[in-house]
């Protein structure tokens, strides 16, 4: 794209963002148009730039909370979050297979465990499904992301059934763990105790950018909380999933999870470990350029 065309596009995106910011009623028709434009590269880029500028404005004004229709529920989310931005502004679903399982497999009174909860997309959906008699345990060690998780739980009125922990779940108990945090402003969900060489090579994580966290095995956590049932576990820990599962030996013996959603490569040690424990595996989401969500039940 020439400099002139790029300047014109950016000016149009800024004007569009200004208009949407001042006339929120236009957001719904805008989302329909953005969805229709997905297969037109130049137009899609214009919509993407417009959305990014709008989200930046909304975030700076602390005005980004919107109701987002997701299946049978309509929670409130900060639409600057990467998990819901695409759905709200372009009707592009986030991890639809995993979303479907959370919404359909959980029923009132169930218990959901969210290991690597990030900003709370699945935590909130699960909390709405399990109801006031259910329980949701969410683990998010990254403080900045956890604040957004806490915000989402609060604005959806589900604090009565959600427990949020700052622990990083792995295969050891360590008060001096290091969490490598995302270097990508557009995706804060790739932080990890065990960064992959690929993610480092792509610039998503850096060896010199980490924060101290408390690390516990899930077994250790279980011994002090004693849930009587675990109906669904979601594990999204960016390469540390085998470590999480290795720290669940007593859990599998005492309160075996009925289902587990895990982001992990096919053929990984995590898949082998869960297979050895009698779980059958199926694919929920193929992530373009990423790692699939697998269901174990």
pLDDT digit string, tens, across residues 136-168? 999 999 999 999 999 999 999 999 999 999 999
C-alpha distances in Å from residue 262, one per residue of 225, 237, 269 = 23, 9, 12
Longest distance between any two alpha carbons in the chain, whole Å: 65
Spell out the SS3 assignment of the chain: CCHHHHHHHHHHHHHHHHHHHHCHHHHHHHHHHHHHHHHCHHHHHHHHHHHHHHHHHHHHCCCCEEECCECCECCEEECCCHHHHHHHHHCCCCCHHHHHHHHHHCCCCCEEEEECCCCCHHHHHHHHHHCCCCEEEEECCCHHHHHHHHHHHHHCCCCCCEEEECCEEECCCEEEEEEECCCCCCCCCCCECCCCHHHHHCCCCCCCCEEEEEEEEHHHHHHHHCCCCCCEEEECCCCCHHHHHHCCHHHHHHCCCCEEEEECCCCCHHHHHHHHCCCCEEEEECCCCCCCEEEEC
If one looks up domain 96-177+217-296 in CATH, what number appears? 3.40.50.150
What confidence score (pLDDT) does residue 205 get? 54
Residue 201, pLDDT > 50, answer no
Cα–Cα distance, 177 to 210 (Å, whole number): 10
Give residue-wise pLDDT tens across range 20-56. Answer: 999 999 999 999 999 999 999 999 999 999 999 999 9
Range with the poorest average pLDDT among 74-83, 92-101, 182-191, 216-225: 182-191
Give residue-wise pLDDT tens across range 203-234. Answer: 555 566 778 999 999 999 999 998 999 999 99
What is the separation, in whole angstroms, between the first and last Cα of the chain? 49
C-alpha distances in Å from residue 65, one per residue of 41, 79, 126, 134, 160 = 29, 6, 19, 25, 21
Give residue-wise pLDDT tens across range 88-136. Answer: 999 999 999 999 999 999 999 999 999 999 999 999 999 999 999 999 9
What confidence score (pLDDT) does residue 193 get? 77
What confidence score (pLDDT) does residue 107 get? 98
Q: Nearest 5°: phi and psi at 260?
A: -135, 125
Residue 2, pLDDT > 70, answer yes
In the beta sheet, which residues pair with residue 16? none
Range with the poorest average pLDDT among 61-70, 123-132, 192-201, 242-251: 192-201
Cα–Cα distance, 44 to 29 (Å, whole number): 15
Q: Nearest 5°: phi and psi at 122?
A: -75, -30
What confidence score (pLDDT) does residue 188 get? 61
- Going by pLDDT thresholds of 50, 70 and 90, the confidence category of residue 239 is confident
Domain boundaries, the chain: 3-90, 96-177+217-296
What confidence score (pLDDT) does residue 43 get? 94
- What angle do helix axes 82-90 and 27-36 make, rounded to 10 degrees? 90
What confidence score (pLDDT) does residue 145 get? 92
Cα–Cα distance, 36 to 19 (Å, whole number): 20
What confidence score (pLDDT) does residue 183 get? 61
- Going by pLDDT thresholds of 50, 70 and 90, the confidence category of residue 4 is confident
């Amino acid at each position: 794209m020439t400099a002139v065309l790029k300047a014109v596009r950016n000016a149009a995106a800024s004007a569009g963002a200004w208009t949407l910011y001042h006339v929120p009623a236009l957001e719904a028709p805008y989302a329909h148009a953005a969805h229709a434009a997905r297969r037109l590269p130049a137009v899609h880029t214009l919509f993407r730039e417009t959305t990014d500028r709008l989200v930046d404005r909304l975030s700076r004004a602390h005005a980004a909370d919107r109701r987002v229709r997701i299946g049978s529920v309509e929670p409130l989310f900060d639409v600057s979050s990467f998990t819901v931005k695409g759905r709200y502004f372009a009707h592009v679903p986030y991890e639809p297979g995993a979303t479907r399982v959370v919404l359909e497999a959980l029923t009132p009174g169930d218990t959901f465990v969210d290991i690597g909860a990030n900003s709370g997309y699945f935590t909130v959906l699960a909390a709405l499904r399990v109801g006031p008699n259910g329980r949701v345990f969410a683990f998010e060690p990254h403080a900045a992301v956890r604040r957004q998780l806490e915000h989402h739980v609060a604005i959806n009125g589900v604090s009565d059934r959600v427990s949020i922990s700052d622990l990083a779940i792995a295969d050891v108990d360590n008060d001096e763990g290091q969490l490598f945090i995302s270097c990508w402003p557009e995706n804060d969900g790739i932080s990890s105790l065990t960064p992959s060489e690929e993610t480092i090579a792509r610039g998503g994580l850096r060896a010199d950018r980490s924060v101290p966290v408390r690390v516990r095995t899930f077994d250790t956590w279980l011994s002090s909380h004693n849930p009587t049932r675990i109906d669904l576990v979601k594990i999204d820990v960016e390469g540390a999933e085998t470590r999480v599962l290795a720290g669940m030996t007593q859990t599998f013996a005492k309160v075996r999870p009925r289902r587990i959603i895990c982001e992990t490569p096919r053929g990984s040690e995590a898949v082998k470990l869960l297979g050895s424990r009698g779980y059958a595996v199926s694919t929920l989401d193929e992530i373009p350029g990423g790692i699939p969500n697998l269901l174990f039940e």
